[in-house]
Amino acid sequence: MSATSNGARDATVAGVDVGGTFTDILVFDEATREARVAKVPSTRTREAAGFLDGLRAAHAGLGRLGAIVHGTTVGTNALLERTGASCGLITTAGFRDVLEMRRRDRPETWGLRGTFEPVIPRDLRIEVAERTGADGTVVTAVDLDAVRAAARELRDRGAEAAVIAFVNAYANDANEQAALAVLREEWPNQHVAAASAILGEMREFERSSTAALNGYLQPVVGSYLEALAAGLNEAGFGGELLVVQSNGGVMTALDAQRLPVRTALSGPAAGVIAAARCAADAGIRDVITCDMGGTSFDVALVADGRAATTQEAKVDFGLVVRMPMVEIRTIGAGGGSIARVDAGGLLRIGPESAGSVPGPACYGAGNDRPTVTDANLVLGRIDGEQPLGEGLGRLDVEAARRALLTHVGAPLGLDETAAAAAVVEVANARLAGAIRLMSIERGHDPARFALMPFGGGGALHVCSLLREVGGHRALVPRFPGLTSALGCVLADARHDIVHTLNVGLDQLDEEALRHECAAHAASGRRWLEQAGVTIDAVEISHEVDMAYRGQSHAVTVALPPEPTRASLAAAFGDSYRAVFGHALDRVPVRLLTLRTIVIGRRPQLDLRVFAPAPDATVASATRASRPVWSGGEWRETSIYDR
């Protein structure tokens, strides 16, 4: 799929999703119409090595690959575990504590306690004299000598990266760019950036937070991708290395090194893209995706064929990223989530996970605490003789039973079967709660949505989840454990451009708005050309964030084909009523932000390649039967080879 190559190299693309427990690979050869898959344990301290091991397990033939599309959790894990780089911040005098003040929110809404430490500590946040007004007027030119001194101080204190975030730089970035030029002269590496180049949008805290998190991740994600590229080149790969963004599109590895914050939900977003495509090809437009991996359960909503998106997300409390991204609700309840009985005698599942090392008790790698996977194994839902991935032998059922009896059965007075059933039931309750949060709380009835379970454990729980949330049908994709890897193959190139308008609707210059849209479209096309990604077509759409005067929260409105004050007012009224049930017809309206989405449609995989052979029958797929615990009793259950 290289834009400059042809022949055999063009024919093959690999999707690689590195999760917390397993690395999943799907390789598709367009010439032979064959797909190969592999699942290997993730190597948390050597992610690049696990990536290459997975490609070899899938017999990818790196020399023939035209493209590798990668979904990664390196950035996500660094944020959640606070293992990013030491980063410094240079900001406007008087605004040193913006990251700490946030929006004056609390970890627990009704709690009186709660602490938060920004990823950039206070001694690495330095103020300099400068000021730009909200209208873009430079009130005070930046003190470049102070910037130079700040850069040296940050460097001496051990900062590996640095960001500049000046007040109102979204309106005029002249001071930021002048300071950035000086910072580059003083800095020993390329890990420096101006906040306005990462997020050119109003809202001081959100812009500063996004820039700070980007700087925090740059050395970590950058070194990982550099090591990965070096390993791939050494193995003979000469095609495109692309990375899935949190918005469900792909970007080049070089762009990912520059803007790693855009990969915060990379892997889960790829799964949603694949689920939406599989459902659409099956004629289903409304889907709730349920991605249950080894460490987490990710839920997303696809309505009328489109995945729900958000412009802002909290990766963890206080760690706010303002970027377009697929809206995903994540809880710590995966197959490797550890079950325990707390001090009050209640059975808890997660968020602690056994991961891939040592893994569930049944892996026999040293963990003696029970997990959801152990419970499913004891209940006969998983075949202990079939390995869950490359490098894993048969599963140790006796070890799973001992773990359940010791840590769940004994404290609660249950035998091994009842203990396992209790673990699964509590896990199902947590999973169902996440589904309700993504549907009912957003005004959607889950009964009209099909559930699409994927990830290694999703399909094991889907029937119980249907009963819990009142659903009626589920669609289980082929290779459910590798759906995110499939999403990597299916993802299109995407570039988002954001520009603050902050103007009253009655003062809008309609011609200037149309000119701005055209400029954004041209910029997006240039990005696609420079990225070198093979595309079949380009699609461009525009949105505006609008609000009534005095409101702090906006409603996103699709820009009408011919944007005028009247058409925008009508579109905003319709969108506001759809969200809140009414409109405030006499209150003035403001346009806050213009957003342009540029999508380059990549060559698409025909999903019929995964269809069964024409002569396939249920009888020929029948392999055996075994007892499985279901509905409160053991039942002899037929086993099929899908």
- Which of 341 and 10 is assigned the larger pLDDT? 341
Q: Where are the beta strands (DSSP E) in 52-106?
A: 65-71, 87-92
In this prediction, residue 195 carries a pLDDT of 95
pLDDT at 6 > cutoff 50? no
Q: What is the mean pLDDT of residues 347-361?
A: 86
> 91 and 208 in contact (C-beta within 8 Å)?
yes
Residue 29 has pLDDT above 90, yes or no: no
Q: Is 161 exposed, middle or buried (0-12, 13-18, 19+ CB in 10 A)?
A: buried
Q: What pLDDT does residue 3 have?
A: 32
Percent of the chain with pLDDT over 90: 56
> How confident is the model at residue 365, as a pLDDT?
87
Burial of 284: CB neighbours in 10 Å, binned 0-12, 13-18, 19+:
middle
pLDDT of residue 7 exceeding 50, the answer is no
CA distances from 480 to 245, 353, 394, 453 (A): 21, 21, 21, 7
CA-CA distances (angstroms) from residue 350 to 268, 334, 365?
Answer: 19, 8, 19
Instruction: Tell which phi-psi region holds residue 20, choosing left (phi > 0), alpha (psi between -120 and 50) or beta.
Output: alpha
Per-residue model confidence (pLDDT) at position 390: 60
**Predicted local confidence at residue 4, as pLDDT:** 32
What confidence tens digit (pLDDT) does each residue in 485-509 have?
999 999 999 999 988 999 999 999 9
pLDDT at 345: 92
**For 448, phi and psi rounded to 5 degrees?**
-90, 0
Sole residue written with tokens 């902050």: 502
pLDDT of residue 45: 66
Q: pLDDT value at position 388?
A: 67
CB-based burial label for 144 (10 Å; 0-12, 13-18, 19+): middle
Give the position of tokens 């082929």.
Answer: 478
Whole-angstrom Cα distance, residue 214 to residue 261?
5
Per cent of the chain over pLDDT 70 is 96
> What pLDDT is stored for residue 1 in this prediction?
33
Secondary structure tally for the chain: helices H, strands E: 18, 29
Rounded average pLDDT over 427-450: 90
2 pLDDT tier (thresholds 50, 70, 90): very low
pLDDT for res 35? 80
State mean pLDDT over 540-563: 91
Distance in angstroms (rounded) separating the CA atoms of residues 360 and 357: 8
Output the DSSP codes for 356-387.
TTT-SGGG-SS--S-BHHHHHHHTTSS-TTS-
Assess whether pLDDT exceeds 90 at residue 286: yes
Q: How confident is the model at residue 392 (pLDDT cuts 50, 70, 90)?
A: low
How confident is residue 9, by pLDDT bands cut at 50, 70 and 90?
Answer: very low
Residue 572's pLDDT is what? Answer: 94
In a 3-state reduction of DSSP, which class is residue 554? coil
Distance in angstroms (rounded) separating the CA atoms of residues 404 and 414? 9
Q: What's residue 197's pLDDT?
A: 92
How many Cβ atoms sit within 10 Å of the Cβ of residue 213? 29
Average pLDDT, whole number, for the chain? Answer: 88
Q: How many CA atoms lie within 13 A of 482 on its CB side?
A: 26
| 71 alpha-carbon distance from chain centroid | 9
* Residue 595 pLDDT level (bands cut at 50, 70, 90): very high
pLDDT of residue 551: 87
Measured CA distances, 597 to 71, 207, 417, 490, 540 (Å): 21, 19, 52, 18, 6
- Mean pLDDT in residue range 274-295: 92
Q: What local confidence, expressed as pLDDT, does residue 44 receive?
A: 66
Is the pLDDT confidence value at 557 over 60?
yes
Residues 156, 192: contact at Cβ < 8 Å?
no
pLDDT per position as a tens digit, 44-91: 667 777 788 888 888 767 888 888 999 988 888 788 778 899 999 999
| Structural Rg of the chain based on CA atoms | 26
| Confidence at residue 112, expressed as pLDDT on a 0 to 100 scale | 67
For residue 33, pLDDT beyond 80:
no
* Per-residue pLDDT tens digits for 293-331: 888 889 999 998 888 888 888 877 778 888 888 998 888
